[in-house]
Amino acid sequence: MNERLPEKLELREVFAPSDHAAWKRVAEADLKGIPFEKKLVTKTYEGIDLQPIYTREHLEKLPALDQFPGLLRQLRGSTASGNANGAWLIAQSLSHPLAENYNKLLIDALNKGQNAIVLPLDLTTRSGLDADYGEIGQTGKDGVSISGIGSLSRAWKGVDPKACPFFVNTGATPLAFMSLFSAWLNREGSDISAVSGAVYADPVAMLFETGRIPVTIDEAYTHIAGTINYLHGKGSGIRAAGIDASVYAGSGASAVQELGIAIASAVEMIHRLQKEGIAPEVAASALFFRFGTSTNLFMEIAKFRASRLLFTELLSQLGIDPAIPQFMAAKTSEYYHSTIDPYVNMLRVTTQAFSAVNGGVNVLETVPFDSLLTQSDEFANRIARNTQLILGEESHLDHVTDPSGGSYYIETLSSELAQQAWQCFREIEAAGGIIEALLSGKIVNDINTVAVKRIKDVASRRSVMVGVNQYANLKEEVRTITKPDPKEIYDRRAEWLQKFRVSGSSGYHDSILVDLEKAKNESDITKQIDIAAELALKGATLGEIFSHIKNSSEVTVSQTLVIERPAEQFERLRLRSASHKAKTGSFPSIYLFNIGPVKQHKARADFSRGFFEAGGCEVINGRAVDNINDGIAAAKESGAKVFVLCSTDDTYPKLVPEFTTGIRSALPGSLCILAGYPKDQVDDHKRSGIDDFIFLGADVVQIISSIFEKTGVAK
């Protein structure tokens, strides 16, 4: 070849400029009649239509974008430097029911890169009860059992209060725990003004999560207001007004719902605190937002960016200085994890953490990959912690400012998400506000609608979970859940507390209870906390403090959502299959009856293998034959009870009758499945004896469950 490139290459002449409309016309022509929206537009749980391509033209349609981080609506971050000058706080999700065991995990984590402390409280503690007054299954549930200054001191033994921030979700009201916290700081010789973080309460989130809070709604907000006044009086910057949206994300809510509920909860919090005498600016500055994270990478990045947009808009609407930054924490959600092939959860956590960091969160908790299965060990905790360390120190995400800024896709998605979330917020307000929307069942029903769709999409494999409904690994042992025994935990904590109650003189304990009456009669909550903190140092328990400080025995109840992770349906199938193998020596087997050359059967044979392996079935890939009769003997020898015909639609009218007749003659009672769903042939094939069809979009869980029932695979 003697051809040479020209000295000056004019690419604009070779490749003519184009626009989105021109591209779309070409794409529609290539689709040959298939609607563009049906084939190339993806509909999300948020009600947003994702386009196949985004261009500069999409940005031109958006409202004015922030040009620099830290300015205007804080879309690109609340500070000008982003992570480049003060990266996010690494807050490991450490959990053990017993304070002394939690402490061992905490000290190890702090020595190996963690720089913020999260103390997850168990349900009994968050309900204002001592461990022995809780119920078996609630004491030690999802957190550490803390009943007094003793257990709190054991949990934080060896911790310097000024070394790193503290983050504690106290449930519906912060008063009782704040008393213990103040007492512990006094014992440690630390002033609360030198301590940072959030010791916060969110009555709305706890009511949604548990269906019950131990006080009235009004009293919960009164306690939060009093705690804010107490902290301000002490010169402390600790935040006490929680907006814990992670409970909604952990129930299957969409990003729009999570944001909409968070903003509605913030409005309720600010208005309620204002009625208690807290200035709106003070209330806004006391807010602590905590979000969950899904595995939808770009949607999550956009969610955190949109949250800042919504917060600044909310402050503007309320007449509050919009320059007040939104303090955001995030926690990777177990809702998207699985007990099947649990090491894949490491990848899910990495995706979730990456999106949160890119979105600009201030604090990040990463959940260990085996948290659903067991009490996480040193290895699992180290991997979770190192996920954040690697994102910072090796991926250098702690050196960048809003890395998503300017992305046609993410900028557009952030704007659309903010608009949809604002509409969700307005619907909640139209329903009477977040409290009324929760009590009426609207919030639960709306989230349940999305959660049910998520479960169906995973069951039909429209939504892929690697290792669960796609690329299942039957060699991976199915592990059963081995958490600490709830009764043993309850008995240990109850025994300790009962011994504590009878130790010392009865007169001393009686004097504490008498002094608690003084706290009860004190109308100023800031003084109540000071009195309770002094009594906590003398031995008053959290339950005793709370029972005296609360005004009445009234509680608030609401409808709750029964949470099922999308992977659970497959976990049940896999456990059922594993149990069958333990009894019989093999997994339930499926025989693929392949007809014709490779190009005729392979696509559907491969699809069938993935379909049935997701349910824990051993798939026997039969030798391809040219006709039904040639394959009957091999099918019979396989020992299978379920046979799948794999070929093409045009061959099925002739093959199906021969297939069902041959199989049923050789193996009475066997099931005959067809790989594919030729709509114009379905009725004929059913009449010929086909028991079921497998195809793209088929419900894997329903079909395999039905097969297990018919073939005697015990539950």
What is the per-residue pLDDT across 655-693, written as a single tens digit (0 to 9) for each? 999 999 999 999 999 999 999 999 999 999 999 999 999
Structural tokens at position 715: 């539950």
Q: Point out the domain boundary residue: 464, 486, 503.
A: 464
Mean pLDDT for the stretch of residues 539-562: 92
SS (H, E, C) 395-447: CCHHHCCCCCCCCHHHHHHHHHHHHHHHHHHHHHHHCCCHHHHHHCCHHHHHH
Residue 295 lies in a domain: yes
Residue 562 lies in a domain: no
Residue 154 lies in a domain: yes
pTM (2 d.p.): 0.93
pLDDT band at 633 (very low <50, low <70, confident <90, very high): very high
- Neighbouring C-alpha atoms within 13 Å toward the C-beta of 713: 31
Give me the pLDDT at residue 155, please. 97
- Give the β-pairing of 166-169 and 589-594: unpaired
Give me the pLDDT at residue 2, please. 66
What is the per-residue pLDDT across 183-242, written as a single tens digit (0 to 9) for each? 999 999 999 999 999 999 999 999 999 999 999 999 999 999 999 999 999 999 999 999
Give me the pLDDT at residue 16, please. 72
Give me the pLDDT at residue 574, please. 96
* Nearest by Cα to 648 from 604, 683, 616, 711: 604
Distance set, CA 406 to CA 60, 460, 626 (Å): 12, 36, 58
Structural tokens at position 73: 């609506």
Give me the pLDDT at residue 259, please. 98
**Amino acid identity, position 213:** I
* CATH assignment at residue 437: 3.20.20.240
Count how many domains the chain has: 2
Give the number of other Cβ atoms within 10 Å of residue 193's Cβ: 13
CA 413 to chain centre: 20
pLDDT band at 1 (very low <50, low <70, confident <90, very high): low
Mean pLDDT of the chain: 93
Mean pLDDT for the stretch of residues 431-454: 97
Instruction: Tell me the C-alpha distance between 215 and 218, whole Å.
Output: 8
Give me the pLDDT at residue 505, please. 61
Its domain, for residue 596, covers 567-711
* CATH assignment at residue 582: 3.40.50.280
Structural tokens at position 13: 């002449």
Beta-ladder partners of 130: none
Give the percent of the chain with pLDDT over 70.
98
What is the per-residue pLDDT across 456-485, written as a single tens digit (0 to 9) for each? 999 999 999 999 999 999 988 888 888 889
Give the percent of the chain with pLDDT over 90.
80
Q: Point out the domain boundary residue: 464, 492, 514.
A: 464
Residue 624 lies in a domain: yes
Structural tokens at position 112: 């190996």
What is the per-residue pLDDT across 293-310, written as a single tens digit (0 to 9) for each? 999 999 999 999 999 999
Instruction: Tell me the C-alpha distance between 17 and 11, whole Å.
Output: 10
Q: Are 326 and 308 in contact (CB under 8 A)?
A: yes
Mean pLDDT for the stretch of residues 77-97: 82
Give me the pLDDT at residue 478, please. 85
Q: Point out the domain boundary residue: 464, 495, 526.
A: 464
**Amino acid identity, position 597:** P
Residue 418 lies in a domain: yes
Residue 73 lies in a domain: no
Relative orientation angle of helices 203-210 and 255-275, to the nearest 10 degrees: 130
Give me the pLDDT at residue 504, please. 64
Provide the 8-state DSSP code for 323. T
Structural tokens at position 87: 């990266």
Instruction: Tell me the C-alpha distance between 611 and 534, whole Å.
Output: 63
What is the per-residue pLDDT across 354-409, written as a single tens digit (0 to 9) for each? 999 999 999 999 999 999 998 888 899 999 999 999 999 999 998 888 888 889 99
Mark whether 443 and 578 lie in a shared domain.
no
Give me the pLDDT at residue 479, please. 84
Residue predicted with more confidence, 22 or 289: 289
Mean pLDDT for the stretch of residues 177-181: 97
Residue 487 lies in a domain: no
Give me the pLDDT at residue 473, please. 92
Instruction: Tell me the C-alpha distance between 386 and 112, whole Å.
Output: 9
User: Residue 32: is its pLDDT beyond 80?
Assistant: yes
Give me the pLDDT at residue 245, please. 98
Residue 540 lies in a domain: no
What is the per-residue pLDDT across 481-511, written as a single tens digit (0 to 9) for each? 888 899 999 999 999 888 887 776 666 677 8
Mark whether 266 and 397 lie in a shared domain.
yes
